[in-house]
Amino acid sequence: MLIVQKFGGTSVGSLERIEKVAERVLETVNRGNRVVVVVSAMSGETNKLISYAKHFTPTPEKREMDILLSSGERVTSSLLAIALNAKGQKALSLSGRGAGIRTDSNHTKARIENIDPTPILSALDSGNVVIVAGFQGVDEKGRVTTLGRGGSDLSAVALAGAIGADLCEIYTDVDGIYTTDPRIEPKAKKLDVISYDEMLEMASLGAKVLQSRSVEMAKKLKVNLVTRSSFNNNEGTLITDEDKIMEKPLVSGIALDKNQARIGLIGVVDRPGIASDIFQTLADANINVDMIVQTVGDSRGDNAGLTNLAFTVSRDELENAKKCIQKFQSKNEVQDIEINDNIVKVSIVGVGMKSHTGVASKAFATMAKEGINIMMISTSEIKISMIIEERYSELAVRALHSAYELDK
Residues that bind a copy of itself (CB under 8 A): 15, 18-19, 22, 49, 52-53, 55-57, 60-61, 63-65, 67-68, 70-72, 74-75, 77-79, 81-83, 85-86, 92-93, 95, 98, 142-144
Whose Cβ is closer to a copy of itself: residue 69's or residue 367's? 69
- Strand 136-138 relative to strand 144-146, pairing: antiparallel
Whose Cβ is closer to a copy of itself: residue 159's or residue 375's? 159
- Strand 193-195 relative to strand 136-138, pairing: unpaired
* Closest CB 144 distance from a copy of itself, rounded Å: 8
How open is the CA angle 55-59-62, to the nearest 5 degrees? 110
- Total number of residues shown for the chain: 408
DSSP secondary structure of 1-64: -EEEEEE-TTTTSSHHHHHHHHHHHHHHHHTT-EEEEEE-PPTTHHHHHHHHHHHH-SS--HHH
3-class secondary structure, 43: coil
Nearest to 8 by CA among 49, 52, 44, 62: 44
Is there a contact between 353 and 361 (Cβ–Cβ < 8 Å)? Answer: no
Nearest to 66 by CA among 42, 94, 93, 46: 46
Whose Cβ is closer to a copy of itself: residue 92's or residue 165's? 92
The rounded Cα 143 to chain-centroid distance in angstroms is: 27
Whose Cβ is closer to a copy of itself: residue 19's or residue 298's? 19
* Closest CB 219 distance from a copy of itself, rounded Å: 33
* Closest CB 84 distance from a copy of itself, rounded Å: 9
According to DSSP, residue 296 is labeled P
From the CB of residue 15, how many other CB atoms can be counted at a distance below 10 Å?
11
* Closest CB 376 distance from a copy of itself, rounded Å: 45
d(CA 140, CA 352): 45
* Closest CB 59 distance from a copy of itself, rounded Å: 8
Phi/psi of residue 327, nearest 5 degrees: -60, -40
* Closest CB 61 distance from a copy of itself, rounded Å: 5
Whose Cβ is closer to a copy of itself: residue 77's or residue 227's? 77
Alpha helices in 222-379 (DSSP H): 274-284, 318-330, 359-369
- Strand 306-313 relative to strand 253-269, pairing: antiparallel
One-letter amino acid for residue 334 of the chain:
V
Whose Cβ is closer to a copy of itself: residue 142's or residue 371's? 142
* Closest CB 10 distance from a copy of itself, rounded Å: 17
Whose Cβ is closer to a copy of itself: residue 49's or residue 274's? 49
3-class secondary structure, 300: coil
Whose Cβ is closer to a copy of itself: residue 86's or residue 283's? 86
Whose Cβ is closer to a copy of itself: residue 60's or residue 352's? 60
* Closest CB 323 distance from a copy of itself, rounded Å: 29
Partnered with residue 178 across adjacent β-strands are 190
* Closest CB 2 distance from a copy of itself, rounded Å: 23
Q: Is the dihedral of CA 241, 246, 248, 252 positive or negative?
A: negative
